[in-house]
């Protein structure tokens, strides 16, 4: 089989990277993935970002356990028992009382829900939505991009037209329109509404999120399909599906990984933004919703607002930096 471009690059570059290296030592073959991971490991920013992202993932996975360890509960007591009914603030914890382990972030004004529990489950919602949306957009993007790039002629033109059509569709408008339709359709059943809202959110994010990757993949495929190894495969009669997924796809790992790592933070922000606008999930905790409620309290009870804001900020920043590092690591043209 022909050398993939990445391998070709590497063999070109190897002498440059270590011109004085003692010969006959460490001449092990390294795959592009391994090179990328080696680079990532030595990148401090990447390591710290990974740690932060891992922290959030653990929080999301073990949300019930964490809540139990702290001894807090999502909806423990009714508001009238947990709150000072004249001010609406919690009877324990900030802002009216000092810090207590019973409610480390305090109680939510108006409802008396524990804010730590809200935060932890909010992280879960955030990551759940972002992960699923990333996976679906990636799959749709890859498949459409591969087909569009490899199929010449009318199929490519149609797909490209659809791509442009979707790109011209205003995302927020679509989400705003869809929300009331979903709410009306599933109005009478709370469980169904929750599921419908969840899947419609994923759907909206996917619907408006796959075009970038599809275009990227299409462009790559357009140039790759003229390379010798693809030509050779065609000549010896390899079926199209095999060419697409066995010859072309492995060469697209880099742009795909980069797109995933930059897509995740975008979806975290989108989820929070939609929840803030009241058109995301309403029946489970979410950072966006907490921020929406907490805005009026930014002076009187800053922790209420800042906990979810810092959550979103930290997660998005870490994911973005990680994404940058991943892109650098996978980019054969970067030199360190």
Partner 1 sequence: MYWKRPMAAVSVLALTALAACGGGDDDGETSTGGPSDSETSFIEGGGSGQGQNADAPVPVPEIEGAVAGGDIDVVSISGLTTMHPSEAYYVNTASILSNLVVRSLTQYIYDAEAKQMVLVPDLATDLGTPNDDFTEWTFTLRDGIKYEDGSPVTAEDMKFGILASFDRDTFPDGAAYSNDYFLNGDKYKGPYSDPQGDCDCVTVSGNDITIKMAAPFPDMPYWGAFPAISPIPEAKAKDPNAYARHPLATGPYKFGDYKPGDTLELVRNDQWDQSTDAARHAYPDSYNMDSNTPSATIDQTILADQGDAQTMMTYDNVLAPDLAKAKQSGNLVTGGVPCTAFWYPDLRKPEWKDINVRKALGLSYSYADSWLAAGEIIGVTRIPGTTIQPPGIPSRPEEYDVLGNGGERPDTEQAKQLLTDADALGTEVSFYYVTSDPLSVDAKNANVKTLTEAGFEPKPVAVADSTAAAEMRADPNAPLNLRSGGWCSDWPSGASWMPPLFGPTGGANYSYFDEKAVNTQIKEIQTAPIDEQADLWAALDEEIMTKYYPVVNLGYYGAAMLHGSAIQGFLNDDVFGMPTWKDIHVQE
Does 173 participate in binding partner 1 (rule CB under 8 A)? Answer: no
* CA distances, 184 to each of 26, 177, 190, 204 (Å): 65, 12, 12, 17
The answer to whether 304 and 106 have CB atoms below 8 angstroms apart is: yes
Give first-to-last CA distance, the chain, whole Å: 30
Query: What CA–CA distance (Å, rounded) separates 274 from 171?
Result: 11
Does 86 participate in binding partner 1 (rule CB under 8 A)? Answer: yes
Does 285 participate in binding partner 1 (rule CB under 8 A)? Answer: no
Give the range of 117-125, 176-184, 208-216, 220-228 binding partner 1 by CB under 8 A. Answer: 176-184
Does 80 participate in binding partner 1 (rule CB under 8 A)? Answer: yes
Structure token digits, residue 264: 């995740």
Does 160 participate in binding partner 1 (rule CB under 8 A)? Answer: no
Report the residue from 1, 16, 27, 85 that binds partner 1 according to the rule CB under 8 A.
85
Q: How far is CA 256 from the centre of its chain?
A: 13
Does 112 participate in binding partner 1 (rule CB under 8 A)? Answer: yes
Does 18 participate in binding partner 1 (rule CB under 8 A)? Answer: no
Give the range of 52-60, 232-240, 262-270, 273-281 binding partner 1 by CB under 8 A. Answer: 273-281
Query: What CA–CA distance (Å, rounded) separates 230 from 243?
Result: 7
Does 100 participate in binding partner 1 (rule CB under 8 A)? Answer: no
Q: Exposed, middle or buried, 237 (CB in 10 Å: 0-12/13-18/19+)?
A: exposed
Dihedral sign, CA of 203, 209, 213, 214? Answer: positive
Least distance in angstroms from the C-beta of 155 to partner 1: 39
Give the range of 123-131, 215-223, 296-304, 311-319 binding partner 1 by CB under 8 A. Answer: 296-304
Does 191 participate in binding partner 1 (rule CB under 8 A)? Answer: no
Does 186 participate in binding partner 1 (rule CB under 8 A)? Answer: yes
Least distance in angstroms from the C-beta of 183 to partner 1: 4
Three-state DSSP at 62 gives coil
């Amino acid at each position: 089989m022909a050398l993939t471009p990445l391998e070709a690059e590497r063999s070109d570059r190897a002498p440059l990277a270590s011109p004085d290296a003692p010969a006959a030592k460490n001449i092990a073959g390294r795959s592009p993935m391994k090179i990328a991971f080696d680079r990532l490991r030595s990148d401090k920013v990447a390591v710290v970002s990974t740690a932060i992202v891992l922290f959030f993932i653990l929080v999301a996975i073990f949300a019930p356990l964490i809540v139990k360890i702290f001894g807090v509960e999502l909806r423990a007591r009714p508001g009238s028992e947990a709150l000072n009914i004249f001010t609406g603030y919690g009877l324990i914890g900030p802002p009216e009382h000092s810090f207590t382990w019973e409610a480390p972030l305090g109680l939510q004004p108006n409802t008396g829900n524990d804010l730590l529990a809200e935060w932890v489950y909010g992280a879960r919602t955030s990551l759940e939505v972002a992960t699923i949306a990333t996976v679906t957009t990636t799959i749709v993007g890859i498949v459409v991009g591969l087909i569009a790039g490899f199929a010449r002629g009318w199929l490519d033109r149609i797909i490209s037209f659809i791509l442009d059509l979707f790109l011209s569709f205003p995302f927020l408008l679509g989400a705003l329109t869809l929300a009331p339709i979903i709410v009306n359709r599933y109005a009478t059943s709370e469980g169904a509404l929750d599921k419908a809202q969840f899947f419609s959110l994923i759907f909206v994010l996917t619907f408006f999120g796959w075009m970038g990757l599809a275009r990227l993949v299409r462009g790559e495929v357009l140039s790759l399909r003229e390379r010798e190894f693809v030509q050779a495969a065609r000549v010896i009669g390899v079926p199209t599906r095999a060419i697409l997924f066995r010859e072309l796809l492995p060469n697209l790992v880099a742009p795909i990984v980069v797109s995933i790592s930059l897509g995740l933070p975008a979806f975290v922000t989108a989820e929070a933004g939609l929840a803030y606008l009241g058109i995301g999930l309403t029946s489970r905790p979410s950072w966006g919703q907490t921020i929406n409620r907490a805005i009026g309290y930014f002076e009187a009870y800053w922790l209420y607002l800042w906990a979810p804001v810092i959550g979103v900020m930290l997660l998005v920043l870490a994911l973005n930096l990680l994404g940058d590092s991943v892109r650098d690591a996978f980019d054969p043209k970067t030199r360190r």
